[in-house]
Amino acid sequence: MTNQPNTRIRLFGNLHTLRKERGLPPVAELWLPPEGRRADEIAHALDLPLSRIEGVFCNHTAYSLDRILKPGDEIAFIPTGVPGPHRFMLGIHAAGKGER
């Protein structure tokens, strides 16, 4: 018996494009255990190259890829290439330095 998906993960920018090129939707759904999983493990499970991911939004806050994500969290991977001013405004710069 397989577990039903309990978490939605949104993908933007080059990650969105990558999913479309693979014939997949830009929103992934997968099952997370109650204790959660690290964002980098989830990226690996979705076959997303870490070189194209800068961080992860979890419940509207930017974090590094070592963040534990749990069922019910609102998740979106942050693609590389976000312009400078937006990096600061969205908290991506700080997340990349592990300041969250």
Start-to-end Cα distance in the chain: 37
Residue 2 lies in a domain: no
Q: Return the CATH number at 45.
A: 3.10.20.30
pLDDT tens figures, 38-72: 999 999 999 999 999 888 999 989 898 999 999 99
Provide, rounded to the nearest whole percent, the portion of the chain with pLDDT above 90: 59
Output the pLDDT for position 80.
80
What is the extent of the structural domain holding 80?
Answer: 7-96
Lowest-confidence segment of 8-17, 79-88, 89-98 by average pLDDT: 89-98
pLDDT category of residue 12 using cuts at 50, 70 and 90: confident
